[in-house]
């Protein structure tokens, strides 16, 4: 019967630690970082950089290695002059526009992936897709729900597929939309909740299949009280909302694996130590 020696266990533990250090936020490297989406990423109103500047502040404070990449830039962040504000957050764009270039086939997601080679992507879109499903209804009813499931959800799936078709090792954070407050309507809040649920399901599907996908729940975290996280339009971030979004994204990027995940990582670590010990004995 084979027994694990103390030295083998030690090597296994060291291997496990080396494999999991980035997940504990210890100066993890995110490489080329693309922040992808609409104006909730690009910025508007009292939060002209959306959550991007607050996220950069946390990255710098945590000594993380990263380079913002993307087709858009407003120069250096005022609060973090060492970091350029490059991104792919296009105000007014739907998910379909991110995929097809909004009339410019050379300015779409698949081209950006090739041009900027992102290692890490934080993606949130769908807010503007609402106008593509309410073309024959002004309420969140059966027609709107059908349109959502047959038009918007396939776009979400295509976005994730496009990202992993380019690089299956991409670290992807999917941020659920923030709450879209009613603002005199009956459809904005349930629509944003439907987006949240669909993106959560898609995240689970891909992560279950071994892809590095983390779901960040902006929807649940944001308040329905006007003025708490949103500006006067009840849609775009105010300063507090942008900071909340950045905190959630930062935590998602540095998420600690569940205990079961750590156990799964530990088994191969000990097995590797066992194989190396045997190989050493045969030399």
Q: Are 256 and 24 in contact (CB under 8 A)?
A: yes
Query: Whole-model pTM?
Result: 0.82
Q: What is the pLDDT of residues 42-85, one digit of tens each?
A: 999 889 999 999 999 999 999 999 999 999 999 999 999 999 99
How many beta carbons lie within 10 A of that of residue 220, not counting itself?
12
State how far the Cα of 151 lies from the Cα of 173, in Å rounded to an integer: 22
Residue 251: C-alpha distances to residues 7, 55, 173, 216, 258 (Å): 35, 10, 10, 9, 14
pLDDT number for residue 28:
87
State how far the Cα of 272 lies from the Cα of 268, in Å rounded to an integer: 6
pLDDT number for residue 251:
96
Segments of the chain scoring below 70 in pLDDT: 1-27, 135-138, 184, 256-283
pLDDT number for residue 27:
64
Measure CA of the first residue to CA of the last residue in the chain; give whole Å: 21
């Amino acid at each position: 019967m084979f027994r694990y020696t103390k030295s083998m266990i030690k090597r296994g533990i060291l291997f496990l630690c080396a494999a999991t250090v980035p997940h504990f936020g210890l100066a993890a490297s995110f490489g080329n970082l693309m922040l992808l989406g609409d104006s909730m990423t690009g910025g508007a109103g009292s939060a002209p950089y959306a959550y991007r500047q607050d996220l950069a502040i946390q990255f710098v404070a945590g000594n993380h290695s990263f380079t913002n990449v993307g087709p858009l830039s407003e120069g250096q962040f005022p609060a973090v002059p060492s970091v350029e504000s490059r991104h792919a957050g296009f105000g007014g764009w739907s998910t379909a526009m991110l995929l097809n270039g909004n009339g410019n086939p050379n300015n779409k997601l698949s081209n950006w992936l090739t041009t900027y080679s992102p290692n890490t992507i934080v993606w949130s879109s769908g807010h503007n897709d609402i106008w593509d499903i309410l073309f024959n209804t002004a309420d969140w009813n059966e027609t709107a729900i059908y349109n959502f499931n047959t038009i918007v959800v396939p776009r979400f799936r295509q976005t994730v597929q496009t990202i992993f078709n380019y690089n299956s090792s991409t670290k992807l954070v999917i941020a659920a939309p923030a709450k879209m407050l009613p603002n005199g309507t009956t459809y904005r809040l349930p629509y944003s909740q439907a987006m949240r649920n669909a993106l959560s399901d898609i995240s689970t599907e891909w992560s279950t299949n071994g892809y590095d996908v983390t779901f960040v729940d902006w929807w649940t975290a944001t308040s329905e009280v006007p003025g708490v996280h949103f500006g006067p339009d009840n849609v775009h971030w105010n300063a507090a909302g942008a900071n909340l979004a950045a905190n959630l994204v930062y935590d998602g990027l540095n998420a600690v694996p569940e205990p079961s995940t750590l156990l799964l990582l530990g088994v191969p670590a000990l097995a590797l130590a066992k194989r190396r010990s045997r190989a050493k004995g045969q030399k």
